[in-house]
A and B are shown apart, each in its own frame.
Chain A
Amino acid sequence: MQKTAEKENLEKASVALPPTHTVTLKVNNTEKQLQLAPWVSLLDALREYLGLTGTKKGCDHGQCGACTVLVNGRRINSCLTLAIMEEGNDITTIEGLAKGDALHPMQEAFIQHDAYQCGYCTPGQICSAVGLLSEGKAKNEHDIKELMSGNICRCGAYTNIVAAVQDVMQQKGDPANE
Chain B
Amino acid sequence: MSNTTTNYIGKPASRVDGRAKVTGEAKYAAEFPAPGLTYGVVVSSAVAKGTITKIDTAAALSLPGVLQVFTHQNRPGLAWFDKKYQDEDAPPGTPFRPLYDEKILFSQQPIALVVADNFEVARYAASLVEITYETEPHITSIKNRLHEAYTPKEYKSAEPSPRGDAEKGLAQAEITHEAEYSHPSEHHNPMEMHASTVVLAEDGTLTVYDKTQGVQNSQNYITQVFGLAKEQVQVISPFVGGAFGSGLRPQYQLFLAVMAALELKRSVRVVLTRQQMFSFGHRPATIQHLVLGSTSQGALTAVVHEGFAETSRFEDYTENLVNWSAMLYKCDNVQLAHKLIQMDAYTPLDMRAPGGVTGLYALECAMDELAYKLDKDPLELRLTNYTNIDLSKDNPFSSKELKACYQQGAEKFGWAKRNPQPRSMREGKTLIGYGLATGAWEVNQQKSSAKAVLSPDGQLKVTSATADIGTGTYTIMTQIAAETLGLPLANVTFKLGDTALPQAPLQGGSWTAASVGSAVKAACEGIQEKLLAHIRNLKEGPLAGVQKLEEVLFADGKIILKSNPAQHMLLPEVMRLAGENFIEATVTTKPELRQKKYSMFSHSAVFVEVLVDEDFGTIRVTRVVSAIAGGRIINPKTARSQILGGIVWGMGMALEEESVMDQPYGRFINHDLAEYHVPVNADIHDLEVIFVEEDDDIVNPLGVKGLGEIGIVGTAAAIANAVYHATGKRVRDLPITLDKLM
A residues whose Cβ falls under 8 Å from a Cβ of B: 1-6, 9-10, 12-14, 16-17, 37, 39-40, 44, 47-48, 51-61, 63-64, 66, 93-95, 97-98, 103, 107, 110-112, 114, 116-123, 126, 144-146, 148-162
Contact = CB atoms under 8 A, between A and B. Distances in A.
B14 A112 contact: yes
A58 B56 contact: no
B132 A3 contact: yes
B449 to A, nearest CB: 25
A119 B490 CA distance: 21
B733 to A, nearest CB: 24
A2 B133 contact: yes
A166 B191 CA distance: 24
A64 B570 CA distance: 50
B555 to A, nearest CB: 26
Contacts of B63: 13, 17
B479 to A, nearest CB: 14
Contacts, number: 209
B120 A44 contact: yes
Given A51-B33, A112-B14, A154-B190, A117 B681 contact: no
A114 B128 contact: no
Given A48-B119, A61-B673, 19 more contacts: A12-B128, A53-B24, A53-B31, A56-B241, A94-B23, A94-B24, A110-B22, A111-B22, A114-B15, A118-B190, A119-B20, A119-B21, A121-B241, A156-B679, A157-B644, A158-B679, A160-B641, A160-B644, A162-B681
A9 B58 CA distance: 11
18 contacts: A2-B133, A5-B56, A44-B120, A53-B31, A56-B191, A57-B193, A61-B274, A61-B672, A111-B19, A118-B242, A118-B469, A119-B20, A145-B682, A146-B681, A146-B682, A154-B678, A158-B680, A159-B687
Interface centre among A57, A118, A122 (most CB of B within 10 A): A118
Highest count of chain B CB atoms <10 Å: which of A56, A111, A156: A156
A10 B274 contact: no
A116 B21 contact: yes
Nearest to B121: A17
Contact of B23 (A16, A54, A162): A54
B637 A114 contact: yes
A66 B190 CA distance: 12
A152 B680 contact: yes
B648 A156 contact: yes
Contacts of A157: 641, 644-645
A127 B131 CA distance: 42
A8 to B, nearest CB: 10
A48 to B, nearest CB: 6
A4 B134 CA distance: 11
B35 interface: no
A116 B274 CA distance: 21
Contacts of B135: 1
B648 A158 contact: yes
B403 interface: no
A102 to B, nearest CB: 11
B416 interface: no
Contact of B682 (A95, A126, A149): A149
Contact of B681 (A4, A61, A94, A158): A158
A95 B641 contact: no
Interface of B: 14-15, 17-28, 30-31, 33, 46-47, 56, 59-60, 62-65, 118-121, 124, 127-128, 130-135, 189-193, 239-244, 271, 273-274, 469-472, 637-638, 640-642, 644-649, 672-674, 678-684, 687
Given A13-B62, A149-B680, A66 B128 contact: no
B673 A152 contact: yes
A18 B454 CA distance: 57
Nearest to A104: B22
A49 to B, nearest CB: 9
Contacts of A117: 242, 470-472, 641-642, 645
A58 B64 contact: no
Nearest to B274: A59
Nearest to A93: B24
A159 B644 contact: yes
Contact of A40 (B18, B120, B274, B646): B120
A6 B239 CA distance: 41
B241 A44 contact: no
A90 B130 CA distance: 42
Contact of A60 (B59, B240, B273, B640): B273
Nearest to A54: B24
A120 B242 contact: yes
A116 B475 CA distance: 13
Contacts of A162: 681, 684
A63 to B, nearest CB: 4
Interface centre among A2, A51, A112 (most CB of B within 10 A): A2
A109 to B, nearest CB: 9
Contacts of B193: 57-58
A166 B678 CA distance: 23
B649 A156 contact: yes
A63 B277 CA distance: 14
A54 B28 contact: no
Contacts of A98: 23
A127 B641 CA distance: 21
Contacts of A47: 30-31
Contact of A118 (B241, B647, B681, B682): B241
B65 A17 contact: yes
Contacts of B47: 1
B470 A118 contact: yes
A120 B681 contact: no
A4 B132 CA distance: 7
Contacts of B20: 119
Contacts of B673: 58-59, 61, 63-64, 152
* Most chain B beta carbons < 10 A, residue from A37, A48, A119: A119
User: What are the 5 tightest A-B residue pairs by CB atom distance, in nearest-first order?
Assistant: A54-B24, A156-B648, A120-B241, A118-B470, A119-B21
B681 A148 contact: yes
A122 B22 contact: yes
B191 A66 contact: yes
A44 B119 contact: yes
Contacts of B17: 119
Contacts of A114: 14-15, 637-638, 640-641
Contact of B26 (A6, A61, A119, A153): A119
Contacts of A6: 130
B121 A58 contact: no
Contact of B192 (A4, A5, A56, A111): A56
A88 B637 CA distance: 43
A98 B46 CA distance: 46
Contacts of B121: 17
B239 A119 contact: yes
Contacts of B471: 117
B24 A123 contact: yes
Given A118-B239, A120-B28, A120-B242, A58 B191 contact: yes
B242 A155 contact: yes
B674 A55 contact: no
A11 B376 CA distance: 72
Nearest to A44: B119
B625 to A, nearest CB: 13
Contact of B240 (A2, A112, A118): A118
Contacts of A56: 28, 191-192, 241
B271 to A, nearest CB: 7
A98 B22 CA distance: 10
B645 A111 contact: no
Residue among B20, B135, B641 having the largest count of chain A Cβ atoms under 10 Å: B641
B174 to A, nearest CB: 42
